[in-house]
Structure 1
Amino acid sequence: MSRLLDQTFRDAGGRVVSALAAAFRDLDLAEEAFAEACARALERWGDAPPADPAAWLYAVARRWALDRFRRRATAAAWRPDDAPPEPTPEDHVMALDQPIPDERLRLIFVCCHPAVSPDARAALTLRTVCGLSTVEVAAAFLTPEPTLAQRLVRAKRKIAEAGVPYDVPSPDRWPERMDAVLSTLEVAYAQAHADAAGDGPHADFATGMLNLTGLLARLAPDDAEAQALAATVRYSEARRPARLAPDGAMVPLTEQNTADWSPALIAEAGRFVARSAAISHARRAVPGPRALQAAIHGAHADRATTGLTDWAAILGLYNLLLLQRDDPVIRTNRAVALAEVEGPAAALDALLCIDAPGWLPLHAARAEMFARLGWDKDAREDYDAALALGPSSAEALFLKARRDRLLPSAQRWGLRSARIRADPQGSEPFAS
């Protein structure tokens, strides 16, 4: 794939597929049409690409889809949509002044329809709207790829059989879909956040999720979790300028220079947090998981003004979060905070109890704790395991640098750690 086509695929692929799906009411057809347009682009662009590559792909894909419809036996049963009603304020917010209508948020709501099983809603959206590969989606949900692929097939079939309308439902129907919509945006943003250098295939998700979370927060002004997710994305993006060292290596949060953080994005995040808290307070509701995550990011952001990180408060927030969302991601992040409060031994005890084989952040966190305890052999094994899982370029440089600081020999620590790995609750506890 040429560089231009590759860039267009990443920047506009989700919008093109979403617009095609909205027009033809067929997810499979939309994906096939877009793939056909990309194939034709490879043949025809050459040294004279179109002035607007995204619009060219959309036009070619739409013509191909129309031809496909005409060749189908069911062509007579299909007709274009009726003339649209007068645009609503929501329509004006979602409108985009360019040849390809931005139907991403609309299609996200379609994929998150209650007719689709809960375990497939976010996964289908990430695959269809955001363009993640099946391998990437499976990794994001810590699910075997064949299992995930079967879920996607069943979900698309369910949408077709149930005749799910390709429209954003009225706000009173949003609660039944909102959690899946927010989960989709969370995972999509995580793909961009993991790429500190911003040179990976999903780097554009960072800007896209800033826009979409802000849009959703405006469309759902009384949804505390929508406000909280918008805050979290802004807190994270505020730190992006500080996430890369001069040598291109990732800089972990605790070592970032807060002078490089964006005060404007932090302030904007704070307003979303305040709105989320006000909604929960008015409803006498406990903060949801995304509100707690936003509070954790806010506690880290306070270091820009206080110079200190309140790790005890952060650990307390993670303890509350575990009551609502107990998964390997939260447990691993909590262990990192636990290391700052109770020491690396307590953190390593917690990490060794997490069952998420082949998950890169877990290996990296364990390696860090082993290294702090002087168990260099075990640290090296986990660093090597993390590097073998294909991290982004910036993260790979960071992991290699940490691994190379280890002593080449620490055999006795490795033997001792092997015994405790086999029985983490045994009689030979870690020493701080």
Structure 2
Amino acid sequence: MKNAVPKAIAVSHIIDEVLRRDRGRILSGLISRFGDFQMGEDALQEASIAALKHWGRVGIPHDPVAWLMKVGLNKGIDQIRSSQRETMRTNDLAVRLSSDDVYDDIAETIPDERLRLIFTCCHPALEEKSRVALTLRTVCNLTTREIAAAFLDNEQTMGQRLSRAKAKIRSKGIRFSVPESEGWTERLEAVLSTIYLIFTTGYVREDTGPRDLCEEGIFLMRLLRKLCPNEPEIEGALALMLLTDARRVARIDGDGAIVPVEEQNEEIWHNDMIAEGRSILDDAIGRMQPGPFQLKAAIADCHMLRPKPDWQQMSLLYRALWVFEPTPVVALNWSVVIAETGHYELALQKLDELQTQLKNYQPWYASRGHILGKLGDFLGARDAYVQAIRTAPNDASRKLLERKLDILHQSNKPKCQGPSSK
């Protein structure tokens, strides 16, 4: 008995490590077979409890992932039998699990099922926040508490959101599958947007919290590329994430203010990540199937060029992006780039055309302050900056804008006149 407690702790650590690394793979296999999120999660939980007892008694199995998968499947069948429901479904599963090949081949089949899990979590029928939360929970193994913290929700509210998402998948009969060719474009767009939102949620946070959502987003996009190779928009999205994350270390200065890309110290950027992102982007562009994520990655690359960004090329890229995404936000960003090419009046004109649509959008005021300042309209620039500061989403953004407003005040101070000489 003296060694029982340390041994149990050691086994518990091994189980935690296996689940940290492979929970998404195991869970996708279970959900695929049961066709139900909650049943898959319950079965994995029971398998983990069984592992704690069994592995502590007879030792760690040769393939812990396959062991958890097979025991989870058996636990799920037991659950169906105990509830005396779905007799035909039980019999069907029993036949599928009777073969000795199931255990040996399980690791090989899981990757395809994980792709199905991602597409199911990101189904367009689910609202955006639910798609993100469900993907983080099932594929990335974030806890409900961690997801709630990422979105500034309380744990109970996030738990209810996850439960509703699972129930909606079940009630609407959403298939656990990769869509057929006719539904591929819509579903892939939802998947890419969901994963990219996970990344950007982490990128704009001032602290990484218990889990780095940028890393989770990049992990998911790498996984998607591996499971679905040669898809240019997946490559474009991954390139965009890598190019963006490569300069994250230079994004905030010592005073806690955001540093614009063109002013960042490129010597502390992660050059290996930049090289990988550019290589992947070249592969995507070479497929001659342009899309919005490829264009955004190309814009990010142009923004990072030294000694200064290629604003002219960025303006052309925004023109192309407008074809895919004719949104006010794209128009706003395009206006800022036009201003950087020296066409301030045209940029202001385009910005003014967006006022009705973006009157409650903080970056519109920040951009307006910048352009009006370039045009010498100090009063107008000041008013825009004050509004942008008032509605800044975080301290880092606010500090940058306060610095710009201070520079504006300094440049507009009347110069001291010395005594005139006769």
Same fold (TM over 0.5): yes
Query: Is 1:129–2:135 an aligned residue pair?
Result: yes
Of 202, 219, 228 in structure 2, the residue corresponding to residue 192 of structure 1 is 202
Deviations 1:63-114 (A, max 9, x none): xxx9xx89x98967786966468347573599xxxxxxxx6x654310334x
Secondary structure in 2 aligned to 1:235? helix
Question: Is contact 1:192-1:202 (8 Å) kept?
Answer: no
- What is the alpha-carbon distance in structure 2 between the residues aligned to residue 360 and residue 203 of structure 1? 28
Distance 1:241 1:359, change over 3 A: same
What's 2:59 paired with? none
Q: Indicate the residue corresponding to 1:373 in structure 2.
A: 375
Task: Quote the offset at 1:162 in angstroms.
Answer: 3.3
Higher CA-based Rg: 2
- Name the amino acid aligned to 2:294: A
Q: Measure, in 1, the Cα distance between the counterparts of 2:374 and 2:245.
A: 29
Q: Which runs of 5+ in 2 are unaligned?
A: 1-19, 43-71, 138-146, 153-160, 413-422
CA distance in 2, matches of 1:296, 1:203: 28
Cα distance change, pair 297–352 in 1 and its aligned pair in 2 (3 A)? same
> Could you tell me how far 1:259 is from its partner in structure 2?
1.5
How far did residue 316 of structure 1 move? 0.5
CA distance in 1, matches of 2:194, 2:135: 10
Out of 297, 300, 309, the position equivalent to 1:297 is: 300
Summarize deviations over 1:282-317 as a string: whole Å, max 9, x none.
xxx4x11111111112222332xxx23221111001
Q: Structure 2 vs 1, CA of residues 107 and 230 (structure 1 numbering), >3 Å: closer, same or farther?
A: same
CA–CA distance in structure 2, aligned partners of residues 265 and 193 of structure 1: 16
Taking the aligned partners of 2:303 and 2:109, their CA distance within structure 1 comes to 34
Number of residue pairs matched by the alignment: 340
Note if contact 1:122-1:181 (Cα within 8 Å) is conserved in structure 2.
Answer: no
Correspondence 1:4-403 to 2 at 5 A: 19=27, 22=31, 83=97, 86-87=105-106, 91=110, 106-113=116-123, 116-117=124-125, 120=126, 122-130=128-136, 158-167=168-177, 174-195=184-205, 197=206, 199=207, 204-280=212-288, 285=289, 287-303=290-306, 307-354=307-354, 355-403=357-405
Residue 377 (structure 1) shift:
3.5
What letter is aligned with 2:223? L
Deviations 1:5-46 (A, max 9, x none): xxxxxxx8xx79x95994876668999x9xxxxxxxxxxxxx
Runs of 5+ unmatched residues, structure 1: 1-11, 34-61, 95-102, 138-150, 411-432
Give TM-score, length-normalised by structure 2: 0.65
CA RMSD of aligned residues (A): 4.8
* CA distance in structure 1 between the aligned counterparts of 2:38 and 2:110, rounded to whole angstroms: 25
TM-score by length of 1: 0.63
Does the aligned pair in 2 maintain the 1:90–1:219 contact within 8 Å? Answer: no
**What is the deviation of 1:369?**
1.7
**CA–CA distance in 1 between the matches of 2:349 and 2:83?**
62
Assess, with a 3 A threshold, how the Cα gap between structure 1 residues 348 and 202 changes in structure 2: closer, same or farther: farther
